[in-house]
Structure 1
Amino acid sequence: MASSEIQSELFGIPKRLFWGFIAIALFMVGDGIEQAFLSKYIVNIGFSTSQASLVSTVYGLMVVVASWFAAVLAEVYGPRVIMFCGVVLWIVFDIGFLTLGLGPKNYTMMLVMYGLRGTGYPFFLYGFLVGATHVTRKSRLSTMIGWFWCMYSIGIGVVGTYLPSFTIPSIGFMPTLWMSNIWIAVGGCLALVLTRNYFVVHKNGKSTKERFGRVVQDIGVVYRNPNIIKIFIVRIINQLSLFGLVVVFPILFTNRIGFTTQQWLWIWGAMNITLIFGDVFWGMVANRIGLRRQVMWFGCVGCGITTLLFYYLPVSNGPVFWIAVLVAVLFGVTESAFVPIFVIFTSLEPKHIGATLSAQNLAGGISNFAAPALATLILPFFNVVGVVWVFAILYFIGAAITLFVRVPEPGRNQLSRSRVLNESGSNVVGE
């Protein structure tokens, strides 16, 4: 990266990229508005808890497919084209979900339309991530990813969670759901404008067919790396509680423990506020304490413990708001410790970025699908406590797998070399 580009950095990342992150936050507000209350609303209009969970499961399945294709297509056609497709797909199928499915209580159309809407956010989000990876210095990747998930959390977790706690009492459920389209349109358009002439396709004289063939070849290389397979499994485990608890906890916290819907939204929002600061903090800390060590101890082991606490402390103490908020914050701290897992993927196969991102996205998509799917399967037999224990055990298994991942850590090694050179009186030359 040229020195002029380095000088235009803000908080360690390119300035224009930072403002693109603001657009990501706006987009994810729209995507997250219904996250913490949709399952409860579906139950309230006459469907079972398992039916509500199946809606999220189908949505997650489509996210799996779209997440895998997003990075591949972004490498071939360019990030901005895929981001634009994501915006259009999200709005079109959300309108279909509201008018053809949820409004008339047509369960089949709810499954179809909400599922197809699941292709929208991975195209937009991961299309942006591919472009951001290409324009960020390798030594800044961990910081960039921290900011990326920080803005994601601000959008989907904080504003997207707290906003409906105020709009639902005043305008109702359906108008709140319609409002999400405004956030999607504004965030999507802003991101596309801000990345104009910045996220470009490097064709290198090759046709679209040739570039697509190259990416497919790279995918074959990536999946033959045993360390990629191990971290792929850990990435799936990464967000199980994040995507799974939000399906079963709204009903648990309101119907069984005794919190109001608004209180539950504030509790889940507290967790997401913690993710904001945690993503940035862990993104900066990762290169100092080690990417693998952080993911294993603070991510896997930490989430296994806090997932159990998130269930048992509120159930044992009843609707005590500060206890519920405390465990939500603790869970947010440990969940955000997974931030460097993205950097682990790219450091394992640095010459195949598109294919590596595709693998990382696929694992994230599977997590989005597997979490509600596991909840759907376990709920009829073991209730919510069974779901919680399965998630916790999987986190502990993830820690064991991470122990055997061999990760080159260029950022940490570079920091160590810099210290040695400084101590010897030599000048350290940046990239």
Structure 2
Amino acid sequence: MQTATQQEPQNLIDRIGIPRPLLWGFVGLLLFMIGDGVEAGYLAPFLESQGQSSTRVALLFTVYGVAVSISSWLSGPLSDMWGPKKVMWVGLWIWGIFEVLFLVLGLQPNNYNMMVVAYTARGLGYPLFAYGFLVWIAAATPARQLGSAAGWFWFAFSGGLPTLGSLFASFAIPRIGEMGTFWSSLALVMAGGLVALLCTHEPSGSKRLSPPDVTLKQAMFGSISIIWREPKTAIAGLVRTINTSSEYAFLVIMPGVFTKLVGFSLEQWLQLLSIVFLSNIIFNLLSGILADRLGPRTVVAVGGGLGAAICVPLFYYVPLSMPHNFPIAAAMGVLYGASLAAFVPLSGLMPQVCPKEKAAALSILGLGAGASTWVGPAIVTWFQGSVGTAGVIWIFSGLYVLSALMTMAITVSPEARAYTRQAELEASQLDKEAAMHAAGGQ
């Protein structure tokens, strides 16, 4: 009886699409990203209230995004060479150390140069932690479950950044102040990192994933050369860049739009942001599950590309036309968050496109995800002065149409499908032999 009782919740975890040995990694990732997302909705208005210009704030976010994109790319080859778990440890300590420097030497004395240095360096931290875990997921999860596992990864990722992070900030700021809330993010990040790394014992995360004869230089080159050896990865990287570029641009421009033009308070804006990304995390799961049934390309191209092309203008124009109307703004935000979530199946598709080089393929997606953190603010910096905020909105809408067209070119070759089937058959056979050996030993 006791054995059956113990196994029932484990089987439930598998059935909902979470790889059972990685459960605590998902929990820790959620806590980590809540901490990372605490500042997302109010760092820009806080800096402007301290006398920093909107151009300087956009530049800070852009440089930070460049660091994020570099680190996102590095997460793949470094996980191949060192093992994902070690890469996650490095990311956790980088985040913690440079957050302290950012707060003590940058924000508190309002020293812009130190803000740029420390915040940019901190940008190297979260991608190593988060995308190192994504490589771990790809290494430990069978192809049939990759879509759902990717959905749960992005559920935890965007559940924290910025959904629950912004919600936490909306309640914390009135009680402990803005600086106190910044400090609380450090505690959340460290707690999440320790939960993920100390409570997850799946063995492939602690092992080198590359063959023993592959050097670090070769792994680095392989994670870049895959762009021209398998051009579909380059297309996927561009699609992933477009995916969340508007999100990071909106963190720069939308606080002003909603607080100055629509008539919301800062707390209402933060709560709206949380609603937007609550929708996002729910649809992260749904899009992963739908991708396992309808095919990832269909979900990404239709729900993501075409959906976001429509929802981005709706999120801007409808609240402007109906100021002070929080429910209407929230409804538009829900649609926008859902359209961004429809890009999630890319993370399950790429290991199938390149089954022999999963980490390298995911590193290109990581590069795209990181690039979106600076491409979005950079588009604001480059174009807002000439075409206005409305023009920036239509630039993003056009980019999403382009992403839908590009997604249709990302196909899985027959050779890749055959390789994946063979690898899974061999893994299944090894599991059966191990189970028989264990049963015989008992």
Structure 2 match to 1:340: 345
Q: Distance in 1 between matches of 2:70 and 2:133?
A: 17
Equivalent pair of 1:63/1:122 in contact (CA under 8 Å): yes
Tell me which amino acid in the other structure corresponds to 2:377: P
Of stretches 10-19 and 296-305 in structure 1, the one that deviates more from structure 2 is 10-19
2:296 to 291, 303, 306: 291
* TM-aligned CA deviation for residue 159 of structure 1: 1.7
Q: Which amino acid aligns with 2:167?
A: Y
Correspondence for 2:179: 174
Partner of 2:428: none
Cα pair distance change 1:172/1:409, threshold 3 Å: farther
Matched, 1:160 2:165: yes
Q: Are 2:212 and 1:206 equivalent residues in the alignment?
A: yes
Partner residue of 1:427? none
Q: Determine whether 1:257 maps to 2:257.
A: no
Alignment partners' CA distance in 2, 1:87 and 1:101: 20
Distance 1:233 1:217, change over 3 A: closer
AA matched with 1:40? P
How many residues in Structure 1 have an aligned counterpart in Structure 2? 410
- The match for 2:38 among 14, 24, 33 is 33
Contact 1:290–1:409 (Cα < 8 Å) also in 2: no
CA offset at residue 226 of structure 1? 2.5
User: Which residue pairs with 2:319 in the alignment?
Assistant: 314
Matches within 5 A, 1:327-366: 327-366=332-371
Match of 1:418 in 2: none
Give me the TM-score of the superposition, normalised by structure 2. Answer: 0.88
Say which structure is richer in helix.
Answer: 2
Q: How does 1:271-290 map to 2 (within 5 A)?
A: 271-290=276-295
State whether residues 76 and 212 of structure 1, in contact with CA within 8 Å, keep that contact through their aligned partners in structure 2: no
Task: State the shift of 1:397 in Å.
Answer: 1.3
Q: Which runs of 5+ in 1 are unaligned?
A: 414-429
**1:287–1:412 CA contact under 8 A, matched in 2:** no
Q: Distance in 2 between matches of 1:251 and 1:76?
A: 44
2:390 to 355, 361, 385: 385
Cα drift, residue 300 of structure 1: 0.4
Structure-2 residue corresponding to 1:416: none
The separation in 2 between residues aligned to 1:74 and 1:212, in whole angstroms, is 13
Q: Name which of 383, 402, 405 aligns with 2:407.
A: 402
Q: Which residue of 2 aligns with 1:268?
A: 273
Q: CA RMSD in A?
A: 2.4
Q: Secondary structure at the match of 2:229?
A: coil
SS at match of 2:206: coil
**What secondary structure sits across from 1:59 in the alignment?**
helix
Q: TM-score, normalised by structure 1?
A: 0.90
Q: CA deviation at 1:205?
A: 7.5
Instruction: Indicate which of 240, 243, 256 corresponds to 1:238.
Output: 243
Give the C-alpha shift of residue 227 in structure 1. 2.0
CA shift digits 1:70-117 (9 cap, x unpaired): 111011011111111111110111111111111111111111111111
Per-residue CA deviations over 1:141-166 (Å, capped at 9, x if unaligned) read 00000011111122223220111111
What is the alpha-carbon distance in structure 1 between the residues aligned to residue 216 and residue 137 of structure 2? Answer: 19
Partners of 2:413 and 2:333 lie apart in 1 by: 33
> Letter of the aligned partner of 1:403 in structure 2?
M
> SS where residue 283 of structure 1 aligns?
helix
Q: 2:51 aligns with which of 46, 55, 60?
A: 46
Structure 1 distance, partners of 2:209, 2:340, is: 38
| Cα contact 2:79–2:209 (8 A) shared by 1 | no
The answer for the alignment partner of 2:225 in structure 1 is 220
Separation in 1, partners of 2:144, 2:319: 42
1:202 Cα deviation from its structure 2 partner: 4.1
Q: 1:57 is matched with which residue?
A: 62
TM-superposed deviation, 1:211: 5.9
In structure 2, the partner of 1:24 is 29
Instruction: Assess if the C-alpha contact under 8 Å between 1:13 and 1:136 holds in 2.
Output: no
Contact 2:226-2:233 within 8 A present in 1 as well: no
1:141 corresponds to: 146
Tell me by how many angstroms 1:342 deviates: 1.3
Q: CA deviation at 1:395?
A: 0.6
- 1:81 paired residue among 72, 80, 86: 86
SS in 1 for 2:356: coil
State the partner residue of 2:422. Answer: none
Which string of whole-angstrom CA distances, capped at 9 and with x for unpartnered residues, describes residues 373-411 of structure 1? Answer: 111112222222122111111111111222333345999
In the other structure, the counterpart of 1:12 is 17
- Whether contact under 8 Å (1:307, 1:392) holds in the other structure is yes
Q: Deviation of residue 204 (structure 1)?
A: 7.9
Superposed displacement of residue 126, structure 1: 0.8
**Deviates most, 213-222 or 297-306:** 213-222
